[in-house]
Amino acid sequence: MNTPSVFTPKGVQTKAQGRLRSKRTLGYQCHTRCAMVTQGALARPWALVCTPFGVQKQLRLCLLALFLFASPVSAATPDELLNQAESAFAEGVQLRGDSVKAKPAFAQAAGAYDELWKHGFHTPELALNRARAHRLAGNLPRCIAALQDGLAVARFSRPLQVELTSARDAVEYPLEGDLAAQCRPPTSGTVSSRMSPTDAWVLAGFAWLVACLGVARFAMTRAVGWLVFAGVCVAGLALLGWLWVQDTRQRQREESLPLLVLANDSYLRKGNTETYPARIESILPKGVEVRELTRRGGWVQVRLSGGSVGWLPEQAMIPCGRMSVEASARR
């Protein structure tokens, strides 16, 4: 049975016609907004909140595209960083005849080694590679800081000690005067810098075993020589333990203050502004190692190796040493 048509005057619409027109209008708006999103409106993701539910499939595609565009680029893996560093270092070696071209390659290698160090690969070998790359790139302060980081991990590493001595010799210390006495760090020759804790325990165990054998031989032969020999072994063991304890206490006192390396030539001033006069008349050369006492207003109060105390600009300092390594490990 056919439904009779209903005449609707102009300007008057039924409820069914109103719903139909609303659906068409919303569908057109949905289509328009999805087209805007897919054509470059990804920079306005908040527009998606107002889009009606009638185009869920298009919304899913748009949101997927939004997340794909907004996802960050994955960082380089440690293997990739190591390959970059080795390739850049090899390139620098090939260009060693031209220092102007070789230094950027060594700087790139140093940057990759630094990233590996920040990722937690704290080994003496990596510290040595960092230091050599920085030095060949012409950055002596960074070289010294890298060596101090390595010695904070393995203070007994002989290659790091030799490289640090060589780097310190390259610092432009004055040959005489008050600055020369205050800036040049003393050479460390303590027992803990000559052997690792494992080596010390092995040596102590061997000395104790030999002493016990000497006592056993004395009990068997009643020869006084064996007893003297055992006494010498015990005395050597006691001396090793005493030196180790004294060295540990001295190192703890030194490492209680953060170690810094001066990155640029600067005057050591009596206060924390440039208006204060210089504590020492001569300018401090870059590469000088100091201990931090406190910070104030963008300046650092430091103590030189010779005991002088003064202020240096904070931006001219490079943190290094044990506290710097621990802070890097926590990050």
Residue 174 is which amino acid? P
Please report how the helices 56-70 and 15-38 are oriented relative to each other, as an axis angle in degrees rounded to 10: 20
Give me the sign of the Cα torsion angle 44, 50, 51, 56: positive
Residue type, 86: E
Residues of the chain with pLDDT under 70: 1-75, 188-190, 192-193, 327-331
Q: Would you state the pLDDT for residue 105?
A: 94
What pLDDT, on a 0 to 100 scale, did the predictor assign at position 87?
A: 93
- Report the b/e string of 286-300 with b at 16+ CB within 10 A: bbbbbbbeeeeeebb
DSSP classification of residue 297 = T
Q: Give the span between the Cα atoms of 302 and 307, in whole angstroms.
A: 10
What CA–CA distance (Å, rounded) separates 288 from 304? 8
With beta carbons less than 8 A apart as the criterion, state whether 160 and 128 touch. yes
CB count within 10 Å of CB 240 equals 16
With the CA atoms of 6, 10, 12 and 13 taken in that order, what torsion angle do they form, in degrees rounded to the nearest 10?
A: 60
List the one residue out of 326, 287, 30 whose CA is nearest residue 167.
287
Beta bridge partners of 292: 302
CB 130 within 8 A of CB 114: yes
Q: What distance in Å separates the CA atoms of residue 133 and residue 111, rounded to the nearest whole number?
A: 9
**Rounded to whole angstroms, how far apart are CA atoms 209 and 312?**
54
Calculate the CA 226 to chain-centre distance: 54
Among residues 325, 330, 329, 319, which one has the least CA distance to residue 145?
A: 319
Residue 159: CB atoms within 10 A of its CB come to 15
Which pairing describes strands 309-313 and 317-320: parallel, antiparallel, or unpaired? Answer: unpaired
Alpha carbons 91 and 85: distance in angstroms, whole number? 10
Q: What pTM value is reported for the model? A: 0.67
**Spacing of C-alpha 181 from chain mean position:** 31
The pLDDT score that the predictor gives to residue 86 is 93
